[in-house]
A and B are shown apart, each in its own frame.
Chain A
Amino acid sequence: MIAARRSLLSWSAFFASLAALPPLLPLLGVDGGGAVQIGVLNDIGIYLILALSLNIILGHAGIFHMGHTAFFAVGAYAAAILNTSCGWPILSALPVAGLLAALLAFLVAVPVIRLRGDYLLVVTIGVVEIVRICLVNNIFGLTGGANGIAGIGRAVILGRRLTTPADIFYLIWSFAALSVLLFSLLENSRFGRALNYIREDEVAAAGCGINTGRHKIQAFVLGAFWAGMAGTLFAVKTRLVDPESFTFSESVMLFAIVILGGAGSMAGIVLGTFLLIGLQEIFRDFLEARMLVFGAAMVAMMIFRPQGLLPARARRYDTGGRTGASPGAAGREKKPGPPAGNGAAGT
């Protein structure tokens, strides 16, 4: 309980200090009122939401999924089409975009979810490419081909039009905060534990009575649902969606964020997102060298710290304050009493 409260406090502090940035940056005399910096933070926010949703699939369930951009793209295009062709307010497309991405994920997952790690990885890579090629080829005449869809309307919240980068900033980062809250509830629950058991040993998990196939599909669909909603936020931010925003390399980037940050660790994923996306923006001038450094860092990480920058910490359980000395076999007439030294032997 104390641990949970402490983590709630540090997350609140993190998001509160971020929220102070838009008014603070101009006061600090940052060029152009900090619009560029806010723009970068908006990118980071969207990647963070995506990485958190991928974390459920890759970090917690251990499903090697390198096609998350596909669901992001479906969400972004769904929102863009609903807005430009059907006249929906862009934010009201949020749940529909999520559901469409989830539907695609379900259709993909059902036949292939039982494949072993590397095979599944190849399938998910295929899905990203299929989605991207569909978009380029103007599927059903809806996606605008290589040019994408432009002219997406401004988001309106409570009668207020979101026009400045700072407006978008608050929208994206509120959603990111909500994601952190919901996913932390989820990972500290029966569902989250089940995913971790499956990641550790699928046969043993099934042997404990866990429906592994169903949980993996649930994780996959849920992650895709969230990525679809992130796609809507992307459409709100850029007001233009085109196939170039949803390439395989974006999927690899998300995969790298989760693995480098620390699979299953939300703090690790926040750090990973800021490092990978933030540094990419900072070193934008050194385009070639950037990828070189990025690759070298990746190799070094996998050798020296394969568990990620901030690995997931063990869950804490409130065990009711009873100490180990109390007879745990209460209510049972016979305690077999293997010698106390038994468990300690050899440890």
Chain B
Amino acid sequence: MSLLSLRGLSKSFGGLVAVAHVSLELEADAVIGLIGPNGAGKTTLFNLITGNQRPDSGGIFFDGRDITGLPTHAVVRLGIARTFQNIRLFQSMSLLENVLAGRHCRLRAGLAASLLRPPFQRREERQAVRRARDELAFVGLEEQRDKPAGGLSHGSQRLLEIARALATDPRFLILDEPAGGMNGQETAALMELIAAIRSRGVSVLLIEHDMNLVMKVCRRIVVLEYGVVIAQGAPEHIKRDPAVIEAYLGSGE
């Protein structure tokens, strides 16, 4: 049974059709790649899933539940987390606070608890800080926890975004070009990290331009062109698919 299913999703901006009748079944416990030429509608598809944009038509079901049109924070609460293609960290805040942001939706203290500081509030704060440190350690940034996020290298900022997303306890993690701006060594580490995320029981949907990375870490690949799914299947299969080759390299003429 699939964890996330997209049924006939469409989204256009003015006259431009970004996503056209996309139906996909994304299974649990897998790393699935979403590839396609620039402007194929990959990020729009992500934005539809995470509630950043509303689809014109079609439905999104997560674990059997209709989440179409839910606001982003509600989608995150249900267990879908994401990173951003153009890194969106809280630049002036420390690494630790950035990751704590991800814990927010799992904490209960409201205004009253913040003022009165009952024991449960202090306990959950302690646990949140500990968990944030664990997530920083998981991506290998724990020693820099008190530094401002803006001072990190590009690659490390991407790792920090992943740590922040993981702190929300996702069951499904959407990574939007995580290897963008990473050097070879960092990309290799990222592959290991994605595998480790999967082994934590988190399913991963990955947009990536680095074909080497996609072919290595994904069990299944979905190819999007002009908002339409033109192929999907195992990496070996995708590599040989004529429609995919044409989309990427153009036809022989």
Contacts and interface: CB of A to CB of B under 8 A. Distances in A.
Contacts of B144: 343-344, 347
Nearest to A328: B137
Given A211-B73, A332-B138, A319 B145 contact: yes
Nearest to A346: B153
Given A191-B114, A338-B189, A209 B88 contact: no
Contacts of A211: 71, 73-74
B192 A338 contact: yes
A133 interface: no
B9 to A, nearest CB: 20
B231 interface: no
Contacts of A141: none
A331 to B, nearest CB: 8
A190 B77 contact: no
B45 interface: no
A62 B168 CA distance: 24
B38 interface: no
B109 interface: yes
Interface string B200-221: 1000000000000000000000
A50 B192 CA distance: 53
A324 B97 contact: no
A335 B102 CA distance: 21
Given A196-B90, A340-B140, A345-B155, A208 B115 contact: no
Interface string B104-129: 11110111011101000100011001
Contacts of B199: 333-334
Q: Which of B104, B106, B133, B165 has the most CB of A within 10 A?
A: B104
B93 interface: yes
Nearest to B111: A191
Contacts, number: 188
A209 B96 contact: no
B104 A315 contact: no
Contact of B193 (A186, A222, A336, A344): A336
Interface residues of B, number: 75
Most buried by A among B72, B144, B199: B72
Contacts of B92: 200
Given A190-B107, A343-B141, A209 B155 contact: no
Given A194-B104, A347-B152, A200 B126 contact: no
A200 B109 contact: no
B126 A347 contact: no
Contacts of A330: 134
B139 interface: yes
Given A193-B97, A206-B73, A320-B126, A347 B151 contact: yes
B40 interface: no
A139 interface: no
Interface in B178-205: 183, 185-186, 189-190, 192-193, 195-196, 199-200
B2 interface: no
Nearest to B117: A185
Contact of B143 (A196, A212, A324): A324
B175 interface: no
A218 B110 CA distance: 11
Nearest to A205: B101
A111 interface: no
A196 B94 CA distance: 12
B152 to A, nearest CB: 6
Contacts of B50: 207
Contacts of A193: 97, 100-101, 104
A324 B142 contact: yes
Given A209-B76, A347-B151, A318 B107 contact: no
B192 A207 contact: no
A330 B131 CA distance: 11
Ordered nearest first, which 9 A-B pairs have the shortest CB separation? A328-B137, A209-B105, A346-B153, A189-B114, A338-B189, A209-B76, A336-B196, A324-B143, A204-B88
18 contacts: A190-B109, A191-B114, A207-B52, A207-B72, A207-B76, A208-B168, A209-B77, A209-B81, A210-B105, A211-B71, A211-B74, A327-B137, A330-B134, A336-B193, A339-B140, A343-B156, A345-B155, A346-B156
Interface of B: 50, 52, 71-74, 76-77, 81-82, 84, 88-94, 96-97, 100-102, 104-107, 109-111, 113-115, 117, 121, 125-126, 129-130, 133-134, 136-148, 151-156, 159, 164-165, 168, 183, 185-186, 189-190, 192-193, 195-196, 199-200
